[in-house]
Structure formats: structure tokens, C-alpha cells
């Protein structure tokens, strides 16, 4: 209970996203991709990155009690996997202790490798096909299992994922032995309260991977800066965009006209071979630019709205005064209308001018008696003379004078209107003034076109349409004036360059400006990159929160009591059970990684702590220690799953072999244990120990099997043979074989009979030996058994009779030649079927009578 309280307290100090991960693990047991996405989204929020206190974590107090019982029933239909081609399934049935005997190469390890692969063991070797045969169409097998009494068949193909239902099978072989002896490993069974930390560390890693995957999509689109700009301030800025402030960024991405002018000036200065000539050229350009400014200024003033209003005012004044003069020009003696009109005035002034020729000394109009009219050259009567005098009086009168003055002012206002340059003249002016861009040419042409229209309208007295004023040019003139100033500065610079010029420094400045300009041309990409880098930094900050160090630290603290101490205790207990407690080894916690606490077997008391057990201990000692570590690791898992041992006593002496056999039988009391071995000694010991538990238990839970190889393929389960059957059953097996040998002889002759009968004779010799151990001596002493058993057995031996010994002695003598080599001078003859059957039946009858005598004596 204290552990749950401690863990809850620790969780409530963590950031909200980590609390959410733990809460989902406790509620669901596992985390899926949607959960990881939710957690990755939560860690991006301010609230998700702060501790919270609203979760109860009630699941920490729940008890987990799994009592499932899993059993392997059979492995069959093996095809295309290594050299296994069993004719029928390898069956384990309902027995708790299955012992599978087979010679080397009989397929024991191949079955083990299949079970490791399909149950998803981390050190499972890759399964191969039979390298001596053509590749099969499929590599597969079928495994039947039973969970809590319910059988299931699983067809599995090599390359497919593990069979989830068989994940809990535990397997010990040479690879596992090496792992437990040399590598750091985590305990297989972790209590749920501790396993939560391991899962939490995995979830943290998944969230980090999800964030990293999102971050990886933030691909830069920033162009590579040309190498020519290496070393410039622009290049350094370009390579450190992540540190750029908004002010720095705006400044770096702005290219002002003066920047362009400065760059152009540097280019020109560097081009120039004669700076003095360029200075003259700049002065000349400035002068031409002044003409443009002057013309533009004059045009802007002449055709401004104010000027147009002034001209219109003069026109109106002249018109009004002319009208007044016309009113005053109605002379009584005039015979025609129109006196005072402009055409009339023009004619009158023409007459005045002409009169100076015939009458150079007379004042106009000449009206003496000899005078004639300057227009019609007729003599003037008195009325005509009076009319001419009135006309002149009108012309010289005040009203006419006022009208003339007003018209003169109006005419003078029109005279100075700026002359409009042609388009070609504008183009030439722009080029001469350094305004070569089309924009300037188009701008000035548009300005003068407006002025031209206004000028035409004014000269037409706006009779058709009114004159439109031109736009204000103050800003344009200011810009041109700035340009003029720059020309002055350039001219001054060239003049200075003509005296002294640091070309290297100018080149460096030019390159720096070009780098800056290049960067401004990538403004959109640069801003996008700054945004990307900013987002990437956010991801770095989020990923920094996914460190599993705190989880590992807490896991180590909790695991020390809940896992490590228990694991070490079990290891020491297994060492004692296996008789290996005197070997100087210990299981220690080495470190924690991603919430998982790792352990390793080390030498105890070694002067050099780096010395590994595999470099000091014997092969047998290494084997027994690794077996102890394996059993300590897996025995405490909840439920009962099968244990599979492939040659567990490899390299062990008889003492350790006996201890291992005892431990295996003890394990078989509560779960299924499958032992594959090539050692007859273990085979016999396990049978003996199973009987020692009880005859009833042995009959229900002990199953002895054999697999064999033949014709290049292996894994065949074989029928019960003479060597592993009871003596009574073995006797019957030999009688059955003798019948088959006789039938073969009837068909194929003596050679066919002898080929089979010789083997029967050899097996019969071995059966006689076993009959001495198991029948005559009542199994008090057995080969391949560690001890002598007298309890309940020794009394029966007193019933042995002389006839018993004589029969055994005769049969041993008669059939020894078929088991041991003989001299070539003494030929070996195979008994006829009748003779051999008599001997076999005689041994069977003797055994039956011996048991009857002993039963009667008891």
C-alpha cells in the first residue's frame, strides 16, 4: 500500500501530459497510436507542460491476479523448416512432464527454435529451410495449445508475427544460457505496479518519436547561398537565422534605393580605370539632370492648378474689357457693324502702317483735301474725313486702351507656357541625365503629355475643353534632387579616387552589398525559414520534456524492493536448489534504462570487478548458473505456462544432473515441463523421480518420447522401443518383431530373415541385462540412476532362486555374441525363428512367474 501512495504522490508532481499517459496506461493497460497523438498534442499546450492535481489514479490500488494455465498439446504439419519432416505430430498430451529423447541431429533443437520464433522470444534464431533440398512452396507448422482447458489450433508461417496466445511459453537453451550469463537483462516478470514505469518509459519514447516525426516534416526550403559570399556579414547572418530578432530580420531583408546606388557606385568605381574621367562624366550627367529638374519644375509651375486659374482670370478680364470697348465703339458715322472687333482693329492697324508709305510726314489718319483712303484709295469727302477721325479717336480712347492692355496681359500669360519636348527629346534627356530606366522615360512622357494637352487647351482659349492641371511634382523633384546629390557625391568620390583608391576594401564592400541584396531577394524563403526554425525550437523544447531519466530513477527506486530484492532472492534460492550455492557468483542490479532495471550475474569477491564469469568458471558451472538465473527470472510469472528445456544438463556432472532433474520434476508439479535431451542418464533419472513422486502421478503426468532422424530429415516421433519400454512390454515388442522377421524370411529367404533377426538378438541381449536390474533385483540398483533404492524393494530379492540365476546366465551367455564383437574363427549363427521365439517366451514366462512368487510371498 505504501508503494501505491508513493507512486501516486510522484505522479502528481509530474507534468500534466505525463500524468495523462500514466492514467491511460493504468486504465487501458496499453497505449495506441491515437493515445500517442493525443499526448503529443497535450505536451504542446502550456497546461500540458505543468503539473496538475485532478487525477485520482485509483487503478494503482487494484490487485492483478492472473491464473491462466497454458499448455502445449502438439506440434505438427511441419513443412519447409530446417530438416524437420515428421510423419506425425509431436504430441505432449495432458502430461506435465514430457521427456523427449533423441540422438544428435534428431531435430530436438529445431523444435526448440520453432517454439522460440513463434512465441516471439528476443533471441530466437532465424528459421532456415533444408539447405540440401529445393526451396519449399511454404515454410509452416501447426501448433495446438490449450488455455484454461480450451484447445486452439494455430497455423503459423515463417516470417509471420508471433502467435500471441503462446507468448508466455518460457524456453531455455544454449542461447538463453549464454544471455543470462553474459548480458544485462531485465526481469521477465515485472509486477504491474512496477511494469507501469517500463510502459511509461516506452510511451515517453513514442511521444518523442511522434514529435520528432512531426519536426522532421519541417523541411527547409532555404536556397543555398552562393559560395562567393563566404566570409561576408550577410553569409554569417544567413547561417544564424535562428538567432535573428524581428528588427534584425526586417533590416536585413530591406533593400533601399540608396543601397542599390551604393552598390552601383562601387561597381562603377571598381570598373573605372580613369576615376577622373568618371568624375567629369558624373558632373556632366548632373548638369543634364538639372535641365530635367528645371524643365519639370517649370512645367509643374506653368501648368499647375494655380497658374491655370490665373490665366483664366486674365482671359476673362480681357474678354470683359473688350466687350466694354465694343460697347463704346458704336460710332454714329459708321456705315457697317463690327467696328472695334479684332478683325476690324487688325485692318485699322494695317491701314495705319500702310499710311506711313504715301504720307510719311502726316499723322494717321490723313484727312486733308489731297488725302485718299488708305484702304480703297478714294478721295475723302467731308463725311469720310470725319468718320476716319472718329475711328482714330475710338482707337486711341481709354476703353480701347484698357481692352488692349487686358488682352496684352492675357497674351503675355500664354507666351511663356513651357515648350513641350517631343518623345524623342524626352528619351534623349533621360539617357543623358542618367535616368535610363523605362519607368522614368514613361513617367516624364506622361507628364509632358498632360502639359501638352493643357497648353493646347489654353491656346484655344479652352473653347473645346478645359485645360487639366499637371500633378504636383515636389516629391519627384525631391527624388531627382537626391539623385543629383548622389551624382555630386560620386563625382567627389571619383575625384578622390583619382588621387587614392583602396580597391581591395571597395571589393570587400561590394561583395558584402551583393550578399545583402541576394538575401533580400530570398526574403520570402528567409522568413519561412525563420518561422521553421522557431517551430523547430519549440519541438526541441517539447522533446526535452520527454526524457525518461526521472522515470528510470523512480523505477529503480520502486523496483529495488518490488523486483530486485525478490529476483536476487529467487536466484540464490535456485542456486541452492541446484546444488550450486558454493559457486562464487551473485545477481546484482547494474543500472536502469528507460524505466527498466537491468541485472547481471557477476563474480562475487573478484579482485577485478570487470572479470566476467564466463572467463573464470568451468563450462558446467556456467551452465548451472545460467539455469539458476533463468529459473529465478521466469518462475514467478503469474499463471502456469509451459517450460521448455533443450538439453538443460549439457556439460553438467552427475551431481548437478541429479539436482537439475529434481528441480524439473518439482516444476512439473504445477505446470507443463518439456525436456529435450540426448542423455539417457537424464532420461532414466526423470522417470525414476517421477515414480518417486508417486506411481499415480507418474502414470498421469510422465510421458517419455523419442524422436529420430532418417534419410536426411529429422523430427520423427518414434514408437515406444525396447530401450524405453517396461521389460514386459519390451519382451512383447521383440516377439512382434520376430513375427515380422519370419514373414520377411518367408518372402525374401534366409537373408531377409537374418537381417532383422540379428537386431532382435542384440535387443534381446540388452533386455536380459535390464531384466536383471528391473526384475531380478527389483530396481534396487539401476544404471543411469544416482542412488540405490531399498525402501520396499530389498525384501523381494530374497525370493531369488537358483533356477532364476541359471536362466539369466544361459541367456546372457547365448546372446552376448550379438552385442559384443567375436573372433573371426568363431562364426556367429543367427538362431532360427522357432529357437529365438522359445527363448523370448521363456524370459516372458520367467518374469511372470517371478512376479507371482513375490506377490504370494508379500
Choose the weakest-confidence range: 69-78, 564-573, 605-614.
605-614
Give residue 823's pLDDT band: very low, low, confident or very high (50, 70, 90): very low
Lookup: cell for 700: 498421469
Q: What angle do CA 243, 248, 249 make, to 5 degrees?
A: 85
Give the pLDDT confidence score for residue 372 in this predicted structure: 84
Give the pLDDT confidence score for residue 824 in this predicted structure: 47
- Taking each helix axis as running N to C, give the angle between helix 2-11 and helix 192-216, from 0 to 180 degrees, rounded to the nearest 10: 20
On whether the CB atoms of residues 391 and 339 are closer than 8 A, the answer is yes
Average pLDDT (116-129) is 92
Give residue 325's pLDDT band: very low, low, confident or very high (50, 70, 90): low
Lookup: cell for 534: 522557431
Give the pLDDT confidence score for residue 676 in this predicted structure: 93
**Alpha helix (H) ranges present in 217-245?**
233-238
Torsion of CA 455, 456, 461, 463, to 10 degrees: -140
Alpha carbons 124 and 119: distance in angstroms, whole number: 9
Give the pLDDT confidence score for residue 328 in this predicted structure: 56
Maximal CA-CA distance, the chain: 211
Alpha carbons 116 and 139: distance in angstroms, whole number: 16
Give the pLDDT confidence score for residue 513 in this predicted structure: 92
CA 757 to each of CA 738, 742, 747, 761, 840: distance values in angstroms, whole numbers, following the listed order: 7, 9, 15, 6, 12
Give the pLDDT confidence score for residue 403 in this predicted structure: 67
Q: What is the pLDDT of residues 350-365, one digit of tens each?
A: 788 888 888 888 888 8
**Pairing verdict, β 643-646 and 673-677:** parallel
Q: Which of 312-316, 492-496, 574-578 has the highest mean pLDDT?
A: 574-578
Among residues of the chain, what percentage have pLDDT more than 90?
33
Among residues of the chain, what percentage have pLDDT more than 70?
92
**Per-chain mean pLDDT for the chain:** 85
Q: Give the residues across from 646 on adjacent strands.
A: 676
Average pLDDT (235-262) is 90
Alpha carbons 164 and 695: distance in angstroms, whole number: 36
Give the pLDDT confidence score for residue 417 in this predicted structure: 79
Q: What is the pLDDT of residues 59-101, one digit of tens each?
A: 887 665 557 899 999 999 999 999 999 989 999 988 999 999 8
Alpha carbons 76 and 154: distance in angstroms, whole number: 10
Give the pLDDT confidence score for residue 80 in this predicted structure: 92
Any idea where the domains of the chain sit in the sequence?
2-63, 70-168+639-714, 184-190+548-636, 225-303+468-545, 331-409, 719-857
- Does residue 826 register a pLDDT over 60? no
Alpha carbons 49 and 444: distance in angstroms, whole number: 64
Give the pLDDT confidence score for residue 65 in this predicted structure: 55
Q: What is the pLDDT of residues 268-323, one digit of tens each?
A: 777 777 777 778 888 898 999 899 888 888 888 888 888 888 888 888 877 766 77
On whether the CB atoms of residues 687 and 656 are closer than 8 A, the answer is no
Give the pLDDT confidence score for residue 164 in this predicted structure: 93
Alpha carbons 371 and 386: distance in angstroms, whole number: 13
Lookup: cell for 174: 544454449
- Tell me how long the chain is: 858
Alpha carbons 746 and 750: distance in angstroms, whole number: 8
Alpha carbons 76 and 109: distance in angstroms, whole number: 15
Average pLDDT (199-222) is 93
Alpha carbons 492 and 505: distance in angstroms, whole number: 18
**789 HSE (CA, 13 A, CB side):** 17
Q: Which residue has the cell 573478484?
A: 606
Give residue 838's pLDDT band: very low, low, confident or very high (50, 70, 90): very high
- Does residue 757 register a pLDDT over 60? yes
Q: What is the pLDDT of residues 618-667, one digit of tens each?
A: 888 899 999 999 999 898 888 899 999 999 988 888 888 899 999 999 99
Lookup: cell for 279: 568624375
- Does residue 380 register a pLDDT over 90? no
On whether the CB atoms of residues 99 and 687 are closer than 8 A, the answer is yes
- Does residue 174 register a pLDDT over 60? yes
Give the pLDDT confidence score for residue 688 in this predicted structure: 82
Residue 397's SS3 state is coil
CA 520 to each of CA 345, 377, 507, 511: distance values in angstroms, whole numbers, following the listed order: 71, 87, 20, 14
Write out the CATH class of domain 70-168+639-714. alpha beta
Give the pLDDT confidence score for residue 388 in this predicted structure: 74
Q: Is the pTM of this model over 0.75?
A: no
Q: Give the residues across from 599 on adjacent strands.
A: 185, 589
On whether the CB atoms of residues 308 and 454 are closer than 8 A, the answer is yes
Average pLDDT (608-613) is 75
Amino acid at each position: 500500500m505504501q508503494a501505491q501512495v508513493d507512486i501516486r504522490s510522484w505522479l502528481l508532481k509530474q507534468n500534466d501530459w505525463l500524468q495523462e499517459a500514466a492514467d491511460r496506461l493504468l486504465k487501458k493497460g496499453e497505449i495506441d497510436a491515437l493515445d500517442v497523438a493525443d499526448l503529443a498534442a497535450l505536451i504542446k499546450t502550456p497546461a500540458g507542460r505543468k503539473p496538475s492535481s485532478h487525477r485520482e489514479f485509483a487503478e494503482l490500488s487494484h490487485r492483478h491476479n492472473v491464473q491462466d494455465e497454458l499448455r502445449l498439446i502438439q506440434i505438427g504439419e511441419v513443412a519447409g523448416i530446417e530438416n524437420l519432416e515428421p510423419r506425425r505430430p509431436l504430441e505432449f498430451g495432458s502430461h506435465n512432464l514430457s521427456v523427449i529423447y533423441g540422438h544428435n541431429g534428431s531435430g530436438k533443437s529445431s523444435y526448440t527454435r520453432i517454439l522460440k520464433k513463434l512465441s516471439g522470444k528476443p533471441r530466437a534464431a532465424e528459421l532456415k529451410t533444408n539447405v540440401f533440398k529445393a526451396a519449399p512452396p511454404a515454410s509452416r507448422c501447426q501448433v495446438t495449445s490449450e488455455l484454461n482447458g480450451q484447445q486452439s489450433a494455430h497455423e503459423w508461417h515463417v516470417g509471420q508475427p508471433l502467435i500471441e496466445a503462446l507468448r508466455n511459453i518460457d524456453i531455455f537453451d544454449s542461447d538463453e544460457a549464454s544471455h543470462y550469463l553474459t548480458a544485462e537483462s531485465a526481469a521477465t516478470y515485472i509486477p504491474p505496479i512496477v511494469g507501469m514505469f517500463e510502459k511509461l518509459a516506452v510511451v515517453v519514447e513514442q511521444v518523442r518519436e511522434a514529435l520528432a516525426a512531426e519536426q522532421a516534416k519541417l523541411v527547409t526550403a532555404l536556397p543555398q547561398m552562393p559560395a562567393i559570399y563566404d566570409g561576408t556579414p550577410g553569409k554569417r547572418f544567413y547561417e544564424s537565422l535562428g538567432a535573428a530578432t524581428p528588427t534584425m530580420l526586417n533590416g536585413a531583408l530591406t533593400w533601399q534605393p540608396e543601397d542599390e546606388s551604393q552598390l552601383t557606385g562601387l561597381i562603377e568605381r571598381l570598373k573605372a580605370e580613369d576615376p577622373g574621367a568618371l568624375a567629369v562624366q558624373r558632373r556632366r550627367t548632373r548638369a543634364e539632370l538639372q535641365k530635367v529638374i528645371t524643365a519639370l519644375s517649370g512645367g509643374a509651375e506653368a501648368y499647375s492648378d494655380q497658374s491655370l486659374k490665373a490665366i483664366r482670370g486674365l482671359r476673362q478680364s480681357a474678354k470683359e474689357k473688350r466687350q466694354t470697348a465694343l460697347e463704346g465703339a458704336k460710332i454714329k458715322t459708321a456705315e457697317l457693324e463690327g467696328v472695334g472687333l479684332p478683325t476690324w482693329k487688325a485692318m485699322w492697324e494695317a491701314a495705319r502702317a500702310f499710311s506711313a508709305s504715301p504720307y510719311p510726314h502726316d499723322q494717321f489718319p490723313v484727312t486733308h483735301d489731297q488725302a485718299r483712303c488708305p484702304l480703297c484709295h478714294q478721295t475723302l469727302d467731308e463725311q469720310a474725313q470725319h468718320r476716319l477721325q472718329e475711328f482714330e479717336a475710338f482707337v486711341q480712347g481709354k476703353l480701347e486702351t484698357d481692352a488692349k492692355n487686358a488682352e496684352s496681359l492675357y497674351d503675355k500669360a500664354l507666351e511663356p507656357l513651357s515648350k513641350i519636348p517631343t518623345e524623342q527629346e524626352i528619351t534623349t534627356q533621360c539617357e543623358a541625365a542618367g535616368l535610363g530606366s523605362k519607368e522614368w522615360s514613361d513617367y516624364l512622357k506622361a507628364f509632358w503629355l498632360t502639359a501638352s494637352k493643357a497648353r493646347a487647351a489654353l491656346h484655344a482659349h479652352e473653347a473645346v475643353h478645359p485645360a487639366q492641371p499637371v500633378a504636383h511634382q515636389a516629391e519627384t523633384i525631391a527624388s531627382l534632387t537626391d539623385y543629383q546629390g548622389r551624382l555630386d557625391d560620386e563625382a567627389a568620390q571619383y575625384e578622390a579616387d583619382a588621387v587614392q583608391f583602396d580597391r581591395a576594401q571597395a571589393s570587400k564592400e561590394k561583395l558584402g552589398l551583393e550578399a545583402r541584396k541576394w538575401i533580400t531577394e530570398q526574403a520570402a524563403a528567409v522568413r519561412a525559414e525563420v518561422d521553421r526554425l522557431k517551430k523547430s525550437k519549440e519541438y526541441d523544447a517539447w522533446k526535452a520534456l520527454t526524457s525518461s531519466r526521472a522515470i528510470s530513477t523512480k523505477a529503480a527506486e520502486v523496483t529495488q524492493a518490488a523486483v530486485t530484492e525478490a529476483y536476487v532472492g529467487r536466484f540464490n534460492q535456485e542456486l541452492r536448489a541446484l546444488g550450486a550455492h558454493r559457486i562464487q557468483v551473485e545477481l546484482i542490479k547494474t543500472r536502469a534504462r528507460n524505466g527498466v532495471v537491468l541485472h547481471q550475474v557477476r563474480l562475487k569477491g573478484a579482485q577485478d570487478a570487470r572479470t566476467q564469469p564466463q572467463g573464470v568458471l568451468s563450462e558446467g558451472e556456467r551452465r548451472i548458473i545460467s539455469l539458476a538465473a533463468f529459473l529465478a527470472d521466469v518462475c514467478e510469472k503469474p499463471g502456469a505456462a509451459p517450460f521448455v528445456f533443450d538439453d538443460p544438463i549439457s556439460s553438467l556432472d552427475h551431481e548437478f544432473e541429479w539436482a537439475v532433474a529434481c528441480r524439473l520434476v518439482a516444476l512439473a508439479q504445477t505446470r507443463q515441463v518439456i525436456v529435450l535431451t540426448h542423455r539417457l542418464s537424464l532420461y532414466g533419472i526423470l522417470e525414476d523421480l517421477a515414480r518417486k513422486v508417486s506411481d499415480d502421478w507418474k502414470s498421469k503426468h510422465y510421458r517419455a518420447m523419442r524422436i529420430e532422424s532418417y534419410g536426411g530429415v529429422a523430427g520423427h516421433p518414434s514408437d515406444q522401443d525396447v530401450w524405453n519400454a517396461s521389460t514386459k512390454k519390451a519382451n512383447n515388442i521383440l516377439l512382434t518383431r520376430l513375427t515380422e522377421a519370419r514373414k520377411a524370411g518367408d518372402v525374401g529367404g534366409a537373408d531377409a530373415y537374418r537381417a532383422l533377426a540379428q537386431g532382435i538378438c542384440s535387443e534381446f541381449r540388452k533386455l536380459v541385462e535390464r531384466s536383471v536390474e528391473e526384475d531380478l533385483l527389483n530396481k534396487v540398483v539401476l544404471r543411469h540412476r544416482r542412488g540405490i533404492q531399498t525402501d520396499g524393494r530389498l525384501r523381494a530379492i530374497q525370493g531369488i532362486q537358483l533356477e532364476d540365476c541359471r536362466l539369466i546366465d544361459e541367456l546372457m551367455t547365448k546372446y552376448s555374441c550379438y552385442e559384443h564383437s567375436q573372433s573371426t574363427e568363431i562364426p556367429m549363427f543367427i538362431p532360427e525363428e522357432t529357437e529365438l521365439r522359445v527363448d523370448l517366451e521363456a524370459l516372458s514366462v520367467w518374469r511372470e512367474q517371478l512376479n507371482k512368487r513375490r506377490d504370494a510371498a508379500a
